[in-house]
Amino acid sequence: MTFDEWLGTQQYADGTIDTQSARMTRLRAAYPDIDAQYEADSRGSLMQEFTYTRHDERAGRPNPTRLVIDGNLYHNLSTYRSTLGRYIRYRQEIANPVAEPQNIGEDSPNERPIGLERDMQLALRASMGQLEPGLQIIDEDVERRVESGFIDITARDSKGTVVVIELKTGVAGQRAVAQILSYMGDVVIEEDSSEIRGILIAFDFDKKAVAAARMVPSLELKKYRFSFQFEGI
Task: Quote the pLDDT of residue 127.
Answer: 85
| Whether residues 68 and 158 fall in one domain | no
What tens digit of pLDDT does each residue of 42-75 get? Answer: 555 777 788 888 888 888 999 999 999 988 998 8
Query: 43 or 136: whose pLDDT is higher?
Result: 136
Residue 112 included in any domain: no
Count how many domains the chain has. Answer: 2
Same domain, 219 and 178: yes
Q: Are residues 19 and 80 in the same domain?
A: yes
| Domain closes at, from 29, 63, 95 | 95
Q: What is the pLDDT of residue 208?
A: 95
- Residue 135: pLDDT band (50, 70, 90) is very high
Read off the pLDDT band of 82 (50, 70, 90).
confident
Instruction: Return the pLDDT at 57.
Output: 87
- Whether 108 maps to a domain, the answer reads no
What range defines the domain where residue 150 resides? 117-223
Q: Is 40 among the domain residues?
A: yes
pLDDT (0 to 100) of residue 97: 55
Say if residue 212 is in the same domain as residue 124.
Answer: yes
> pLDDT tens-digit profile of 143-198?
888 888 889 999 999 999 999 999 998 899 999 999 999 999 999 988 877 789 99
Mean pLDDT over all residues of the chain?
83
Task: Give the Å distances, CA to CA, from 116 to 83, 144, 173, 182, 223.
Answer: 22, 19, 18, 22, 16
Contacts 24+ apart (CB under 8 A), 18-24: 19/140, 20/83, 20/86, 20/142, 23/79, 23/80, 23/83, 24/83, 24/87
pLDDT band at 101 (very low <50, low <70, confident <90, very high): very low
What's the whole-number mean pLDDT along residues 64-93? 87
Residue 230 in any domain: the answer is: no
Quick check: 41 pLDDT over 70? no
Please report the pLDDT score of residue 196 as a whole number.
93
Inter-residue contact 66 to 7 (CB < 8 Å): no
| 50 belongs to a structural domain | yes
Identify whether 52 is part of a domain: yes
128 and 211 share a domain? yes
Is pLDDT of 109 > 50?
A: no
CATH number for the domain including 173? 3.40.1350.10
Same domain, 91 and 121: no
Radius of gyration of the chain (CA): 19
Query: Looking at residues 72-79, what average pLDDT do you find?
Result: 89
Are 42 and 81 in a shared domain? yes
Is the pLDDT at 95 greater than 70? The verdict is: no
> Would you say residue 105 lies in a domain?
no
Residues 130 and 219 in one domain: yes
Closest CA to 168 of 148, 184, 152, 150: 152
